[in-house]
Amino acid sequence: MSARAAGGGTITPMDSSSTRRQTTRRKLFEAAVTLIAEQGFSSTTVDEIAERAGVAKGTVYYNFASKNELFEELLRHGIELLATSLQEAADGAADRGGSRVDALDAMIRAGLDFIARYPALTQLYVAELWRTNRAWQSTLMVVRERAITVVEGVLREAVAGGELSEDIDIPLTASALFGMVLVAALDWQSYQPHRSIDDVHASLSRLLQGRVSGHP
């Protein structure tokens, strides 16, 4: 009964809605995300996912209609984490009375935090996002939109408030900022993992604020 709350032990108690099923699904997501990030979707077998999650293969098909659907739900779940985190960062900066540029900077930080916390998920998005002719193409379009829109929103407000030039191309700038953080962070993780996140953040802030080519 509920007094035993944590059940098996390692699993968080959570509120009423958390059923045994939710736990199993989460374990499957975690197993799938790392395997797919490492090997790609097609090279990852359902048997492997089940094994790493510590469940039987039949359980995978009891919880998801297919390997494909497991993956799509994974994508949707992941982007929710990112978009929420970006939005909170932007709102937080605004609440603290910062400018819109401060909000952008806070979003860069949030992006770095996200990539540091979920590197496998990030790798997986990058690998799939610009592919064509994939079954989950439409899911990815939505997913991308969800994240880019948050950045565009802040840029738009900054232009309206006179903080940024009206000449900037908002969608393209949003993409470019996104790419800047993404690639810098992936390279950081892959090739210079010893560096601190503050260090990386500071370098990117400098780049954002146009001090790279700034002649004093």
Residues forming the site for DNA (CB under 7 A): 1-2, 4-5, 7-9, 11, 19-21, 23-24, 43-47, 54-59, 61-63, 66-68
Interaction partner, residue 214 (DNA, a copy of itself, none; CB < 5-8 Å by kind)? a copy of itself
Q: Which is nearer to DNA, 32 or 200 (CB)?
A: 32
Q: Which is nearer to a copy of itself, 18 or 144 (CB)?
A: 144
Interaction partner, residue 201 (a copy of itself, DNA, none; CB < 5-8 Å by kind)? none
Interaction partner, residue 20 (DNA, a copy of itself, none; CB < 5-8 Å by kind)? DNA
Q: Which is nearer to a copy of itself, 116 or 186 (CB)?
A: 186
The nearest distance, CB 153 to a copy of itself, in angstroms, is: 16
The nearest distance, CB 56 to DNA, in angstroms, is: 3
**The token pair that represents 121 in the structure block:** 């998920």
Q: Which is nearer to DNA, 77 or 146 (CB)?
A: 77
The nearest distance, CB 159 to a copy of itself, in angstroms, is: 10
Q: Which is nearer to a copy of itself, 19 or 192 (CB)?
A: 192
Interaction partner, residue 161 (DNA, a copy of itself, none; CB < 5-8 Å by kind)? none
* Rounded distance between C-alpha atoms, residue 138 and residue 29, angstroms: 20
SS (H, E, C) the chain: CHHHCCCCCCCCCCCCCCCHHHHHHHHHHHHHHHHHHHHCCCCCCHHHHHHHHCCCHHHHHHHCCCHHHHHHHHHHHHHHHHHHHHHHHHHHHHHCCCCHHHHHHHHHHHHHHHHHHCHHHHHHHHHHHCCCCCCCHHHHHHHHHHHHHHHHHHHHHHHHCCCCCCCCCHHHHHHHHHHHHHHHHHHHHHHCCCCCHHHHHHHHHHHHCCCCCCCC
